[in-house]
Homo-oligomer: A and B are copies of this chain.
Amino acid sequence: MRIETKIANFSNPLYLESGRILEPYQIAYETYGEMNEDKSNIVLVCHALSGSHHAAGVYEGEKKPGWWDGLIGDGKAIDTTKYFIICSNVIGGCYGSTGPMSPNYPSEHAFRFGFPVVTIKDMIHAQMHLLSKLGIYKLKAIIGGSMGGMQALQFGVDYPNLAEHIISLAATYATRPWTIAFNKVAIEAIRNDPRFENGNYKKDAFKEEGLSGLAIGRIAGHISYLSPQSMDKKFGRNYVSTDGLFELFGRYEVERYMEYNTVNFSKKFDPLSYLYIVKAINTFNLSRGYDSLFDAVSRIKAKTHLFSFSSDFLFLPEEMEHIYNMMKRDNKECTYKEIQSDYGHDAFLVELHLFEEYIREILD
């Protein structure tokens, strides 16, 4: 599947939850498959913290496919021969949608810290405008994992008539202090890195060497995406070099993995954008704006499908179960599955074989 990114431009204001306004703004998105005549086959995919609108397929001249390519494609669980799939980069992101490094119109200078705080509600609000622009008012399903799963749930609550199915994986009803603490490592590490220059770094400043502050924060991230068991399997107690034992900085395999992946990530991902998206995750609370969580979920009309992963150390299974129990109390159409996996939080990206058939069934 050869893929191209499209850009949608909006000249009307986006009213944010904070009371601030984004105007104009743009959204980068991709689509896979074909829309049918009665527009009844549309699936919206929402991405997680480090993801983008590039959920599937391969760009011309590149090798690495989109982040959920195993799930989205011809004959796959989200079947591109059957469904028309849309995935857009979140507002605040750094892959084409308006974010802190976008020009603060009418100036040509980037917002940087002048960018308003955006929330999960704002992210889905922006996606509603994108759908309107595409002439779409009804969805077969909205699906996402982690921050994408938060968006799916928020869609269900805020726009109850939009989707037939809400599918949320490895998410929560409100971000707990445990996750906020993991994010705190990144916030402090980025802010304290002198090369971050309090947000006044040059564009592309980190393209070559990365930003160590973001890389360090990302180590904490990777810990929370994995599990003790998956790390045992992946790395064990192996050293990179046999001399490592008595060298102060002799590295274990797990340390090399952390270094390699996090430095690479910091070459590609904008640190200001990271701070803003992390803020959106921290402030996520499905009940905000409603009397209670029960009040919020009682608005949901879509058939709701909740998935957790048994070894998820970031958003614990009990959190998804809590939503399920609340929806059941309200006699909602809702299913919940705790997928048995050692992989940790990232199972929703990696262990597709454990849940893809469920997704296929829901959509069929």
Q: Which residues of A contact B (CB under 8 A)?
A: 17-20, 113, 116-117, 174-178, 180-182, 184-185, 187-189, 192-194, 212-213, 215-216, 219-220, 222-223, 226-228, 231-232, 234-237, 245-249, 252-255, 258-259, 275-276, 279, 282-283, 285, 313, 316
Contacts and interface: CB of A to CB of B under 8 A. Distances in A.
A178 B117 contact: no
Given A182-B223, A185-B185, A177 B254 contact: yes
Contact of A180 (B116, B185, B254): B254
A187 B215 CA distance: 12
B178 A231 contact: yes
A216 B285 CA distance: 26
Contacts of A313: 313
A231 B177 contact: yes
A48 B228 CA distance: 21
Given A17-B246, A316-B228, A188 B174 contact: no
A276 B255 contact: no
Contact of A185 (B194, B220, B228): B220
B237 A184 contact: no
A192 B212 contact: yes
A223 B276 contact: no
Nearest to A239: B283
B283 A245 contact: yes
Contacts of A235: 177
Contact of A254 (B181, B246, B254, B275): B181
A187 B220 CA distance: 12
A188 B246 contact: no
A39 to B, nearest CB: 36
Given A192-B193, A192-B212, A246-B18, A219 B185 contact: yes
Contact of A227 (B178, B180, B184, B282): B178
Given A174-B237, A189-B216, A181 B223 contact: yes
Name which of A215, A222, A232, A254 has the most chain B CB atoms within 10 A of its CB: A254
Contacts of A231: 176-178, 181
A180 B255 contact: yes
A320 B127 CA distance: 49
Nearest to A279: B248
Given A181-B254, A188-B212, A245-B283, A228 B117 contact: no
A163 to B, nearest CB: 27
Contacts of A253: 177
Contact of A175 (B17, B189, B215, B237): B237
